[in-house]
Amino acid sequence: MNQVTVFDPETDELLVRVFLDEGKTKAIIKVGYAVDVDGEILMNEGEDSMNETTTRVNVFISQPMNGLSDDEIRAVREQALKELEAEYGSVYDVDPFQPDRMGDPVYLLGGSIRRMSYADAVYFCDGWQDARGCRIEHDAAEAYELNIIRE
């Protein structure tokens, strides 16, 4: 049985855990919350429930960024998402590029690794082997046996 999780992007609170088993998809929804098929968070007054639903694949994209403009970084990510959508259907980037995210590189890497834990798969863009942060993310993904996809 495979498992997919959905977290509130603002609070990191677990909202939904979806279990995929033999072609059937079931979701356990946290009391007070629901998530629609596009991942939109909706309020729900009901109890925890098992409901038929559809889901998307949460992906973490690891890409070299050093020396690239914001536009170049976005273009690589958009292409990666298109390729993932063609292969897996609906996908969601759990760690979208935010150019205003500034700070100590080790601190930022720690946040990225935390957000990687929300992903069903980790996608490594070409050149990841030459980027220090990508190599660390790859080592973490391998060590914790995450689903790895390489461009």
Distance, CA of 116 to CA of 144 (rounded, Å): 11
Whether 106 and 62 share a structural domain: yes
Whether 81 and 130 share a structural domain: yes
Whether 21 and 73 share a structural domain: no
Closest C-alpha among 113, 115, 104 to residue 140: 113
Residue type, 136: I
Whether 139 and 70 share a structural domain: yes
Whether 144 and 127 share a structural domain: yes
Is the whole model's pTM more than 0.75, yes or no? no
Whether 113 and 71 share a structural domain: yes
Whether 126 and 71 share a structural domain: yes
Whether 94 and 136 share a structural domain: yes
Distance, CA of 91 to CA of 47 (rounded, Å): 27
Supply the CATH number for residue 91's domain: 3.40.50.10400
Cα of first residue to Cα of last residue in the chain, in angstroms, is 26
Per-residue pLDDT of the chain (151 residues; tens, 9 = 90+): 556 666 666 666 666 665 555 544 444 444 444 444 445 544 444 434 434 444 578 899 999 998 999 899 999 999 999 999 888 888 888 888 877 777 788 888 998 999 898 888 999 999 999 999 999 999 999 999 999 999 8
Whether 65 and 120 share a structural domain: yes
Reading the block at residue 84, the tokens are: 């993932």
Q: Which one of 36, 52, 68 terminates a domain?
A: 52
Closest C-alpha among 52, 58, 64, 61 to residue 24: 52
> How many other C-beta atoms lie within 10 A of the C-beta of residue 73?
16
Whether 68 and 134 share a structural domain: yes
- Whole domain around residue 97: which residue ranges? 57-150
Domain tally, the chain: 2
